[in-house]
Amino acid sequence: MAIRDRRLTVRGAFHGLIALLGWVLFVYWWHLVIPQVTGREAYAALIFIGAAFLVTVVVTLLWVSYNVGIFRRKGPRMALPDVSENRDADVLGRMIDQPVDGSLLEARIVVIAVEGDRKRIQPGGIA
C-alpha cells in the first residue's frame, strides 16, 4: 500500500482554520448558555443528545449490514448495469413525443408537458 503525500495545502489549511473557528464559536456559545441552564435542563439535553447518537449509530449499523448482505449475495460490481436505450416511453409507461431534429440539444429551455398518457418534450421559449 502506497503512502500518500501529506503536504499541507492552502485548501487543507483553510479547511482546518474553518473547523477550528467553528469549534471556537461552539465553545463560546456554550460558555454563554451554561450559566442560564439548570441541572435538570442540562440532564434532559444530555439524554436527548445521547438518544440521538444511539439512534444514529444503530441506523448506520443496520444500513451497513444491509449493504454488506447485498454484497455477499451479489458479489462486487464489475460493470455498469444494462440500461435500455428505448426512449419511446418513460418509467411510468407514458409515450414520449419529442423532436428528432436535435433541437433539444441546442435549446436553453426545455418544456416537458404531460397530457393524459403522453409526455411531450419540446424546446422552450425565451429565458
Q: Determine the Cα–Cα distance for residues 17 and 10; give it in Å rounded to an integer.
A: 10
Mean pLDDT of 109-126: 88
Q: What pTM was computed for the model?
A: 0.47
For the residues 66-85, what does the mean pLDDT come to? 89
| All residues at 6 or more sequence positions from 109 whose CB lies less than 8 Å from its CB, including other chains | 123, 124, 125, 126, 127
The C-alpha atoms of residue 104 and residue 11 are separated, in whole angstroms, by 39
Per-residue pLDDT for 85 more than 80? Answer: no
**What average pLDDT is seen over the chain?**
89
Report domain extents, the chain.
11-74, 86-127
If you search the block for the grid coordinates 449509530, which residue do you land on?
Answer: 57
**Could you tell me if 106 and 83 are in contact, meaning their C-beta atoms sit under 8 angstroms apart?**
no
Tracing cell 442540562 back to the chain, one arrives at: 42
Is residue 1 very low, low, confident or very high in pLDDT (cuts 50, 70, 90)?
very low
